Chains A and B, each alone.
Chain A
């Protein structure tokens, strides 16, 4: 698919002949130079925008408008300050399942909060939580309505390195428990290898698929896996691909 933004200086093509296929139930990590159109891709997948040419298909249906089977989380956790953590997590259910009894909503939300280690904080306001905890709550909100597709737009990007690694493990555990197909936009190659079943490298703007790597690591990954020669090799390859995408193909090794 292709997409261009209308700007003062004319059309700004951001995606050009981009082709991405993510098999159902797998986790795709999308990396690429900054400003290459990664976030545009999430908006297209979510149905928030329509591509100029091309199509987006999710689970056998063409995307033409937003759909209830999508969950989204962003770099900014965008929690609503006037709601408690529990009420924030329940929010999507109010839209997607307006008739669901309150007790079932709470049970479902608490189930997720337990998985991410936020039990005991459900009645706090977002401002009372740390950045990492807020992002955990944001992940719960994106999953509460059991979406088929989870779109993650750099959700760990603003966290410090240790918190980020904690969140990677939380994400891994959530994946085991919840059946979703995930598209993760990131600029962290280690993150893409740790979480992804495949890593898709986008070229510089306008973005097209430059390289696809199947991550051949065991299903049950621990952070240690990142220190194996296998992972090091993959990270190296990805690094080279990013350099090519930035238009500096392998010159400055």
Chain B
């Protein structure tokens, strides 16, 4: 247990040390690249902003991610159960996913003018539902027929088979996708926060750091984002342990 915490903490310390060394060895001034030792003052100076903006970013990301879970699972169920729907929807989904989401920022901010919260949540959702939809779809469509037959032979309804077999069997794939989606959702949120004029959230704080040439602040924002990303990722792992802990193999 101690090793489980000590190992990653040590790895982070080594990383920060190398970063510090890199900046020091090259003699870079902090308007070229800030070093880890510049960050604590930056965090302290803007501590209130970090809390309010960090909260803005976090709740909008989580809201977008939850939308992505609901919508992605629904789409996944549709393409998982119906061949016709799969053939029809796959090209659309892949095409949509291939569009760089930055190009959609002006589109949605024109459609929903001034709805900053809504736009941010929407972007977090749009960027993160795809992995969930695909993995749930694949999980359901690759369910071995025998698994269905053991209940179907007893006259169980499609819904019962879904609830007792297909749904739990797909959970490991679902959580695998959710880990990818959680980090993607942050990218979506920040995209809107950075690009929108007078935005809020950590992205907006980054933007203001850039405008004012406050490089330590910009790096501090990046570290804060990384930290939030890690927190959300481990929250997903925590849920995975509860709902799909059975899929973990001993000594894996």
B149 contacts the other chain (Cβ, under 8 Å)? yes
Complex: A30 Cα to B160 Cα, angstroms: 32
A205 contacts the other chain (Cβ, under 8 Å)? no
Count contacts on A: residues with CB < 8 A to the other chain: 26
A78 contacts the other chain (Cβ, under 8 Å)? yes
Q: With A76-B144, A76-B146 as given contacts, are A68 and B249 in contact (CB-CB < 8 Å)?
A: no
Q: Which residues of B lie under 8 Å from residue A68 when comparing CB positions?
A: 154-155
Q: Which residues of B lie under 8 Å from residue A201 when comparing CB positions?
A: none
Instruction: Determine if A145 and B154 form an interchain contact, defined as CB atoms under 8 angstroms apart.
Output: yes
Q: With A91-B164, A95-B160 as given contacts, are A82 and B246 in contact (CB-CB < 8 Å)?
A: yes
Instruction: Determine if B168 and A72 form an interchain contact, defined as CB atoms under 8 angstroms apart.
Output: no
A173 contacts the other chain (Cβ, under 8 Å)? no
A85 to chain B: closest CB distance in Å?
13
A106 contacts the other chain (Cβ, under 8 Å)? no
A193 to chain B: closest CB distance in Å?
27
Q: Type the 1/0 row for A77-95, where 1 means its CB is closer than 8 Å to any CB of B.
A: 0101110000000011011
Q: Type the 1/0 row for A28-65, where 1 means its CB is closer than 8 Å to any CB of B.
A: 00000000000000010011100000000000000001
B194 to chain A: closest CB distance in Å?
42
The residues in A between 87 and 139 inclusive whose CB is less than 8 angstroms from any CB of B are 91-92, 94-96, 125, 127
Instruction: Determine if B154 and A48 form an interchain contact, defined as CB atoms under 8 angstroms apart.
Output: no
Chain B: CB-nearest residue to A142? B150
Q: Type the 1/0 row for A152-184, where 1 means its CB is closer than 8 Å to any CB of B.
A: 000000000000000000000000000000000
Instruction: Determine if B247 and A81 form an interchain contact, defined as CB atoms under 8 angstroms apart.
Output: yes
Residue among B152, B154, B168, B169 with the highest chain A CB neighbour number at 10 A: B154
Q: Which of A46, A47, A70, A82 makes the CB contact (< 8 A) with B168?
A: A82
Q: Which of A76, A92, A125, A127 makes the CB contact (< 8 A) with B154?
A: A92
Instruction: Determine if A72 and B150 form an interchain contact, defined as CB atoms under 8 angstroms apart.
Output: yes
Q: How many inter-chain contacts with C-beta < 8 Å in the A-B complex?
A: 60
A150 to chain B: closest CB distance in Å?
11
Chain B: CB-nearest residue to A93? B154
The residues in B between 155 and 198 inclusive whose CB is less than 8 angstroms from any CB of A are 155-156, 160, 164-165, 168-169, 171
Complex: A157 Cα to B16 Cα, angstroms: 58
Complex: A46 Cα to B153 Cα, angstroms: 6
Residue among A47, A66, A145 with the highest chain B CB neighbour number at 10 A: A66
Q: Which of A43, A95, A151 makes the CB contact (< 8 A) with B156?
A: A95
B127 to chain A: closest CB distance in Å?
30
Complex: A39 Cα to B219 Cα, angstroms: 64
B145 to chain A: closest CB distance in Å?
9
Complex: A96 Cα to B154 Cα, angstroms: 7
Q: With A46-B153, A48-B152, A68-B155 as given contacts, are A81 and B146 in contact (CB-CB < 8 Å)?
A: no
Complex: A6 Cα to B172 Cα, angstroms: 35
Chain B: CB-nearest residue to A153? B146
B147 contacts the other chain (Cβ, under 8 Å)? yes
Instruction: Determine if B150 and A141 form an interchain contact, defined as CB atoms under 8 angstroms apart.
Output: yes
Q: Which of A48, A65, A92, A145 makes the CB contact (< 8 A) with B149?
A: A48
B242 to chain A: closest CB distance in Å?
12
B151 contacts the other chain (Cβ, under 8 Å)? yes
Given contacts A67-B154, A96-B154, 15 further A-B contacts (CB under 8 A): A43-B149, A46-B149, A46-B153, A48-B149, A48-B153, A66-B154, A78-B146, A80-B147, A80-B169, A91-B164, A92-B150, A92-B151, A95-B151, A95-B155, A141-B150
Q: Which residues of A contact B (CB under 8 A)?
A: 43, 46-48, 65-68, 70, 72, 74, 76, 78, 80-82, 91-92, 94-96, 125, 127, 141, 145, 151
